[in-house]
Homo-oligomer: A and B are copies of this chain.
Amino acid sequence: MADESLFDFLHMEIVSHVYKHSSKGEMDNKDRAVCVSVLEGMGFRVGQGLIERLTRDSPSFKDELDIMKFVCKDFWTKVFRRQVDNLRTNHQGTYVLQDNKFCLLTQLSNGKQYLDQAPKYLAFSCGVVRGGLSNLGLDSVVTAEVSTMPSCKFQVVIQKL
């Protein structure tokens, strides 16, 4: 219970710290991009570390889809405390992971009021997913989109070499 809150609280603090210290006064789009990128970078390194621990005793993966399923189940459960509700793919390297009750958004109001604040609270998580995939050998671009809180869609586009 409180162990979970520990991550949530700490995450809130980081977001607010990064946003507070990255600009003096009014933020413009460039400042916002810097903040998102800082949070994404932190997430990336955390994701790399976590996946190493998690896959230590796992057999190797069959293919890309097998990796994505692992991310949606085991990885998601460890990091975000539930499984992804829905995984869709076009079988050409694009995956959409839908979490209907994303843990880092459940603390925010459910209405549309704070929808514009959502990206702040998703940048770290996008990084976590990208970091995890990266250590499993998949380069990717991960973005997140919210239409109704606390539901969230992560889009993963695998970068082919």
Could you tell me which A residues sit within 8 Å of B by CB distance?
Answer: 1-7, 9-11, 13-14, 17-18, 21, 38, 42, 45-46, 49-50, 53-54, 78-79
Contacts and interface: CB of A to CB of B under 8 A. Distances in A.
Contacts of A6: 7, 46, 50, 78-79
A45 B13 contact: yes
Give this chain's copy count.
2
Interface of A (DSSP majority class): helix
20 contacts: A2-B50, A2-B53, A2-B54, A2-B79, A3-B4, A3-B78, A5-B49, A5-B50, A5-B53, A6-B7, A6-B50, A6-B79, A9-B46, A9-B50, A10-B42, A13-B45, A14-B17, A14-B42, A17-B18, A17-B38
